Amino acid sequence: MTTFPGGTSVSRLSVYPGACADGLAGGTPHLHTASTEAYVVVGGHGALQTLDVNGFRESELSAGSTIWFTPGTIHRAVNRGGLEVVVVMQNAGLPEAGDAVMTFPPEILADPGRYRAAAALPADPEAAEEAVARRRDLAVDGFHQVADALRAGDTGPLLRLYASAVALVRPAVARWREIWEESVAAQARHTAGVLDALDRGDGDHLLRSALMESAPQDRWGMCGRLRAHDVANPATLSP
């Protein structure tokens, strides 16, 4: 198999240093509908703010912290000084295909056209930077609406956000299944075949060993500037 181990993806994240509308520096609150995400902090310090049916939680982050969160966990990275994270993402390809849903106010989440317009980033770098800040502030607004309701014991806004998220991603699920079959499921089947071979005393797969590399690609992320890797199309370094 040539893809990154386990059908995951890996990227380096520099969390945005600029202040949001509420005065905190950091990223755009969002959730994933199908994938678990992990943070391995390699520099700086900050926090991860999360919302789920259990309410609001803030987890401190510093070099060496390792934390992960499952689908439905609304998360917001807060940068309190040079926060640098290695992100390991389950189901490589699904987040890029729309698995992540930003916590815009409910009237935007309920309208797919308005959601796409609010989430889109223009090609021009200066315009993209402004759009990143604008969509982040919109998502922070929605994040606070849900957080305030949860503090008051009201899960209604969170449940409505989840329902809107499901409605937004549902049209893409057939394509997601294809991506999953070609990556995660294919790797699981490959490993099953290797185990069967080893059980027979067959080690021929070891003769097909290879060294691979994927150069970083800089892009705007939801939580910060990303140095992402095309884990599906690596360069094979072995002769």
Cβ–Cβ under 8 Å, residues 118 and 192? no
Q: pLDDT tens across 109-145, in order?
A: 999 999 999 999 999 988 999 999 999 999 999 999 9
H or E stretch covering 14 = strand 9-15
3-state secondary structure of 215: coil
The whole-angstrom separation of Cα 89 and Cα 79 is 20
pLDDT in tens, the chain (239 residues): 567 888 999 999 999 999 998 999 999 999 999 999 999 999 999 999 999 999 999 999 999 999 999 999 999 999 999 999 999 999 999 998 999 999 999 999 999 999 999 999 999 988 999 999 999 999 999 999 999 999 999 999 999 999 999 999 999 999 999 999 999 999 999 999 999 999 999 999 999 999 999 999 999 999 999 999 988 888 888 76
pLDDT for residue 107: 97
Q: What does pTM read for this prediction?
A: 0.94
Run of H or E including 132: helix 125-151
| Calpha distance 97→44 (Å, rounded) | 30
In order of 79, 128, 176, 191, the CA distances from 184 in angstroms are 32, 32, 11, 11
| Cβ neighbours for 166, distance < 8 A, ≥ 6 positions apart | 33
Go through the domains of the chain in sequence order and give each one's CATH number.
5-205+217-222 (2.60.120.10)
pLDDT at 193: 96
The pLDDT of residue 232: 83
- Looking at residue 1, its pLDDT comes to 58
In this structure, what DSSP letter does residue 182 have?
Answer: I
- Torsion on CA atoms 113, 69, 121, 178, rounded to nearest 10: -70
Instruction: Decide if 79 contacts 46 (C-beta within 8 A).
Output: yes
